[in-house]
Structure 1
């Protein structure tokens, strides 16, 4: 069967790309993998079009600012961003600005970044640093790290001010996997409940035993939802990442919906895509994977994928002082990508250890901030180093220019984001005024919008 042929006898959502499934490919590697890795959880969620207004309307954007962002758990920073008492991190999303601070050795607090006198920000947006207290730069009102009022110049002129009523208003804080989350909703569910299946899945891949080695930040010329939706499906690979089709099984990728807030896709590396029909040897596959030293030869009877994974276990294990001997081929090589609503992506793999975050860029409906972090495993007994400063990449600059990013991977990111400006303009130019989604390959995109509506309609 041609992979492009329709499957009319199937009910909506049942059709799959002909050829081996991702689960079958992973099991064929012969490794004992965590059951969560090969779990399958698809839900058909309807086929209505998604209006373009959701990406370009200032009124819709304002509604998100009022009803979405103040009510969801979102990661603000990592533990290694604020390792010492007094270290702070300013997290901004739209017009919201939150101060996250290590107020004691094992205590983290978060406050609205606004003075209770005349509203001035206590610390500048997009800033980090270390302080002994928070002092307003306008009139000098000062608060301790725990939010208690410390000083008011000329306090004799403010008889209505009491220490109890003028504590800095707190924002809920949650900590998981080395990440520090905030939620502005006083009645928010506990973070662990919000994370749902992520807790069980990532027990296999503990992110609190990793640290940030690289942070790249780029402004993208698209609405924050469109920007992240470029990463929730592999359907675009046939056109956008055509060069990877001989070595990356994208069109038969697996898509899972585990809850209203947690989804995943999996696609394998080292197997050709079902659309790639040109014969090739395992040696040719290995050379296109670009993971091995020049001249490396695939042993007789061995797959290029298995050979590359074996090489990386030894190389990365030795470099980082960790034992990767029980890490499967899939965990070493594949794109295993979880999404936590509204804007967080987590990759538990070793060769692709990324974390993504997509936020509105201020109040601009047409642009977004993309944070790309790389998390590497800590060696046994190793203390977590402080996080590096973000390297900021201009809109027209390649990701490959960021220090430490592999040129090939940087080029892939360029391909992912080069479409976004044209898509954002196309939203406004189109007569149809809505996008039509695939039932299976774009199910994660639809889940995002359905969950978004739960907040906007509440």
Structure 2
């Protein structure tokens, strides 16, 4: 009996590793143009999607244009203070109403530059030039028939959420397992300090899956062992979503000496590493006590959080394509967007927010950056503005470096299908939930 056979024979988790009832997605769900169209019709049109931050639409006539899965949407605050989402398409000849090079700003009305059809910021048609040229429209309800088509819109946590499905369940029901936990972090009061879009040569599911499994942490991110226990990260399914709890400040290593990464973790939590004289194993408790002692002096909502939450990262995978990491001082969001036509390409939108006191701090201007990972594998400009985050940048760069090779491997005739272990059980959960949408009869 070889080593691997012996390990399997003696494990108490053999039944979960060989779950005969579980059928993972096919590799062709990652490779074919047909899969892109299936997802567009059966998945993306049936779920809630995260949109722009509310802070971008502060006043009437403010707007943001977002692209998703081949569609373009305009989100705009009306004079009645309501936020609406419109398809960015003119009903006359199909032209985009707002072009990609002016995707944020303020407009008194929406004007199609092709033939100057015009709507107000609530989507009501204001002008159709030379209406007499359209005799077929005589007797029709112009205001009703040519109002801009809308998507369903709601808000939570400081984000705009939207769905193509007008009959979808309420957003509060869709997010119910997450809302009660996340509300104490008060993300609705946070300000965006970084926003980058990175084009990566892989299917969007490859990216989502990376952030819900812990099997890769030790080989790909060895530095994490200095400041967290990578062997014991809690994972649970929450309805269609997933939840991971990362115990920062609890190193895997029993090394009594403070490593560079643990010192960085102390500094990241506004503690001078030179002031700490204890062991690495006690850093977590030391930071919690320090934060609790100053909770009445800071803008962060420490008083809302448990001691554990003061140092933990609570990562939620919101079905199907959102990863949100809640931390005491900041929130990190990865939105994994599919390419509109190519199953081997995707976009990962990286957003970082934190709390600011507008009475004492200058609110930073958001700089939106877009680049291809292959052109900047070191993510040079990521998190280089206010509050640099070298630890997060390094970890993301390490992840992204393998995504293209995974996509290439999926395309090999030698790869027959996924083999998923216990540390990848949230990928199993994701595949089950995705199958309900994209393969409902199988």
| Distance in 2 separating the partners of 1:300 and 1:371 | 37
Corresponding position: 1:78 with 2:53: yes
Normalised by the size of structure 2, how large is the TM-score?
0.86
| TM-aligned CA distance change 1:117 to 1:283, over 3 Å | closer
**What does the per-residue CA deviation read over 1:228-282, in whole Å, with 9 as the maximum and x for residues that have no partner?**
211112221111001221321122111110102x211112112223xx4x53246
**What does the per-residue CA deviation read over 1:192-231, in whole Å, with 9 as the maximum and x for residues that have no partner?**
1111211222233232122212212211111111112111
Query: Does the CA-based 8 Å contact 1:247-1:272 persist in structure 2?
Result: yes
| Distance in 2 separating the partners of 1:141 and 1:45 | 58
Normalised by the size of structure 1, how large is the TM-score?
0.83
Give the CA deviation at 1:449: 1.9
The residue correspondences of 1:12-51 to structure 2 (distance < 5 A) are 12-13=15-16, 46-51=21-26
- Secondary structure of 2:45 counterpart: helix
| Distance in 2 separating the partners of 1:317 and 1:415 | 38
Residue of structure 2 in register with 1:271 after alignment: 250
Corresponding position: 1:99 with 2:74: yes
| Distance in 2 separating the partners of 1:270 and 1:322 | 19
CA RMSD in angstroms comes to 3.1
Corresponding position: 1:8 with 2:28: no
Corresponding position: 1:242 with 2:222: yes
More helix by share: 2
| TM-aligned CA distance change 1:192 to 1:294, over 3 Å | closer
Gaps of at least 5 residues in structure 1 are: 16-43
| Distance in 2 separating the partners of 1:457 and 1:227 | 21
Corresponding position: 1:369 with 2:351: no
Give the CA deviation at 1:371: 1.0
- Secondary structure of 2:308 counterpart: helix
| Distance in 1 separating the partners of 2:152 and 2:280 | 55
Query: Does the CA-based 8 Å contact 2:202-2:403 persist in structure 1?
Result: yes
- Secondary structure of 2:126 counterpart: strand
The range that moved more, 402-411 or 412-421, is 402-411
Corresponding position: 1:413 with 2:396: yes
| TM-aligned CA distance change 1:199 to 1:383, over 3 Å | farther
Query: Does the CA-based 8 Å contact 1:393-1:399 persist in structure 2?
Result: no
- Secondary structure of 2:78 counterpart: strand
Higher relative contact order (CA 8 A, sep 6+): 1
Aligned pairs, number: 423
Residue of structure 1 in register with 2:34 after alignment: 59
The residue correspondences of 1:124-163 to structure 2 (distance < 5 A) are 124-125=99-100, 127-161=103-137, 162-163=142-143
Residue of structure 1 in register with 2:405 after alignment: 422
| Distance in 2 separating the partners of 1:68 and 1:406 | 34
| Distance in 1 separating the partners of 2:153 and 2:293 | 39
Residue of structure 2 in register with 1:31 after alignment: none
| TM-aligned CA distance change 1:63 to 1:125, over 3 Å | farther
Residue of structure 1 in register with 2:327 after alignment: 349
Give the CA deviation at 1:166: 1.0
The range that moved more, 282-291 or 341-350, is 282-291
Gaps of at least 5 residues in structure 2 are: none
- Secondary structure of 1:415 counterpart: helix
| Distance in 1 separating the partners of 2:81 and 2:117 | 26
Residue of structure 2 in register with 1:336 after alignment: 314
- Secondary structure of 2:247 counterpart: strand
Choose which of 263, 269, 277 in structure 2 pairs with 1:298.
Answer: 277
| Distance in 2 separating the partners of 1:315 and 1:225 | 41
Give the CA deviation at 1:326: 6.1
